[in-house]
Amino acid sequence: MNTIKNLLEVEQRIGMKLTESYAMWSAASVCGWHFSHPASNYFTLGRIDEDQAVDYAKRKGWDEKTMLKWLSVAMK
């Protein structure tokens, strides 16, 4: 892990550090390694109905404008 971190110079370039337990600091940091295989099958989730979007938005405490901003691409 340290070799990759050093090669990418993440601390110098973006200020992201790893704790002793290899958690990312700052907590807002996002990182991932993605691997694929030519024989793999990938899928996407289907579109959601408006009632599903409304229910989710209600649970998140979003108003309609916020719901449409974040969920419109997934709605039927």
Q: What is the pLDDT of residue 31?
A: 72
Q: Is residue 67 a contact partner of residue 54, using CB atoms and an 8 Å limit? A: yes
> HEC string of 9-61?
CHHHHHCCEECCCCCEECCCCCCCCCCCCCCCCCCCCCCECHHHHHHHHHHHC
* Segment 10-50, tens digit of pLDDT: 888 888 888 888 787 877 777 777 888 999 888 777 899 99
Instruction: Specify whether the CB–CB gap between 11 and 5 falls below 8 A.
Output: yes
pLDDT at 1 over 70: no
CA-CA distance, 71 to 62, in Å (whole number)?
A: 11
pLDDT for position 59: 96
Q: Residue 65 has what pLDDT?
A: 94
Is pLDDT at 51 greater than 90 in this prediction?
Answer: yes
The greatest distance separating any two alpha carbons of the chain, rounded to the nearest whole angstrom, comes to 48
Which pLDDT value is given to residue 64?
92
Q: Identify the top-confidence range among 1-5, 9-13, 60-64.
A: 60-64
